[in-house]
Chain A
Amino acid sequence: MITQMQVKGLMFDPYNNAYIVVLRDEDEAEMLPIWVGKSEASAISLALEHMAPPRPMTHDFMKSFLDAYNAKVISVVITDLNEHTYFAKIHLMYEDSEYAVDSRPSDAIALAIRSEAPIFANESVIRKQNSEELEQWLENLKPEDFGKLDS
């Protein structure tokens, strides 16, 4: 099962000195935060704001490469989450054949927005994200957080 997601926005995470791309489903019931680097965040932000930079940026170049031979991005799927690393697939149509290309989610999302292609997430990723979040929360608990129970 896959769920269609919308890019809700970008946030700065000062704790990790990174950016978070926030994806939400249409009912806003599920949220998928994806940590990306500064240049990946800027590639996504330029596309969200429909900014046309004076020179083609890397993902504009990527799109020109596909456009040159009429290859179309059909969709992008966030497929897996493993040890805090997200995996994605870009589905393309080229000369009547469908291709699925392995990618980082940041490249997939930056390209999807420029190609006006939908973004999906596997339900297992959303479930795993919830449990990894819980794990991270547990890891961050300090001994004194437990100590409170005694006193």
Chain B
Amino acid sequence: MSDSVHSNSLDLIPLSVSRVVEDANTDTRILVLTRTDDQDTFMIWVGAPEGDSIRRALDSATPPRPMSHDLVKSFGEHFGITTKRVVLTDVKSSTYYATVFLENKGVERSIDARPSDAIALALRTHAPIYTTQDVWKRRSGQHLDAWLAKLDTKDIDTQEV
């Protein structure tokens, strides 16, 4: 997987995190990601603690005690491991997949991650965030479907209670 990402690296789409929105209907957060080349956006759903962690990074907020992603950053600083970049590599049934590319003394390693953990680390280490042309093509329309699906589920739950 990492090889194909390397060979297509020219085609990677740079993203920035615009904001983190609370989904009032579910205990989740919506990440609004913006293409830095043409300002087009898309959304991905993440868990509440991960979303809050990303928001703290956007606000450059320093909590009194290191939170989970601050700890990962701290490991990197202690060992000299640099986060080179984060790539959203795939999407399957509305679940996004990410790869974190690390480097230490010229040795590159890549690790599988959820986009939320990958982005929470990227923002803390000032690493660039990308997605592939393929994921970008397949994202369209899906955010709306997922949004409606979540709303429907919530409505049904409420009626049952």
A positions within 8 Å CB-CB of B:
37, 39, 55-59, 61-62, 64-66, 68-69, 71, 85, 87, 90, 92, 94-95, 99, 101-104, 107
Partner of A64, one of B47, B79, B104, B111: B111
- Per the bound structure, the CA–CA distance linking A99 and B102 in Å amounts to 20
Contacts of B76 in A (CB 8 A): 65
Tell me which residues from 90 to 104 in chain B have a Cβ below 8 Å from any Cβ of chain A.
Answer: 95, 97, 100, 102, 104
Q: Is there contact, CB below 8 Å, between B114 and A55?
A: yes
- Count residues on chain B whose CB falls below 8 Å from chain A CBs: 30
State whether B79 touches A99 (Cβ < 8 A).
Answer: yes
What residues on A are CB-neighbors of B113 within 8 Å? 56, 61, 64
Chain A residues, CB < 8 A from B69: 58
**Pairwise interchain contact A61-B47, C-beta atoms closer than 8 A:** no
Q: How far is the CB of A38 from chain B (nearest CB, A)?
A: 8
> In the complex, A55 Cα to B89 Cα: how many Å?
14
A61 and B72 within 8 A (CB): yes
Q: Is B18's CB within 8 Å of the partner chain A?
A: no
Binding site for A on B (CB under 8 A): 47-50, 65-69, 71-72, 74-76, 78-79, 81, 95, 97, 100, 102, 104, 107, 109-114, 117
A103–B75 Cα distance when bound, in Å, is 10
B111 and A39 within 8 A (CB): no
Q: Assuming A55-B114, A104-B67, is B72 touching A71 (CB within 8 A)?
A: no
Asked if residues B111 and A101 are in contact (CB atoms below 8 Å), the reply is no
Q: Are A56 and B112 in contact (CB under 8 A)?
A: yes
Partner of A65 from the list B49, B66, B111, B114 (CB cut-off 8 Å) is: B111
Contacts of A95 in B (CB 8 A): 79
Q: Which of B72, B109, B110: most chain A CB closer than 10 A?
A: B72
- Give the docked Cα–Cα distance between A57 and B79 (Å): 22
Contact of A107 among B68, B107, B112 (CB under 8 A): B68
Query: How far apart are B114's CB and chain A's nearest CB, in angstroms?
Result: 5
Tell me the bound Cα distance from A55 to B99 in angstroms. Answer: 12
Contact among B48, B75, B102, B104 for A39, CB-based, below 8 A: B48
Bound Cα distance A71, B71 (Å): 14
Closest to B97 in A: A55
